[in-house]
Amino acid sequence: MEGVQLSTESSFKQDLPHLQHAFEATLVDLASQIRERAGDLSDDIIQIVRQLCDPDPTRRGDPSWAGSAVPRYNPQRYVSRLDY
Q: Tell me the per-residue pLDDT of 35-78, one tens digit each, with 9 for 90 and over.
A: 999 998 899 999 999 999 999 998 988 887 777 776 777 787 78
Enumerate residues 6+ apart whose C-beta is below 8 A from 35. 42
Per the structure, the count of domains in the chain is: 1
Residues counted in the chain: 84
Residue at 1 is within a domain: no
Residue 3 has pLDDT above 80, yes or no: no
Q: How confident is the model at residue 83 (pLDDT cuts 50, 70, 90)?
A: confident
**What's at 7, amino acid-wise?**
S
Residue at 4 is within a domain: no
Task: Give the global pTM.
Answer: 0.76
Residue at 51 is within a domain: yes
Enumerate residues 6+ apart whose C-beta is below 8 A from 9. none
Range of the domain at 47: 12-82
Q: Give pLDDT, residue 4.
A: 63
Residue at 73 is within a domain: yes
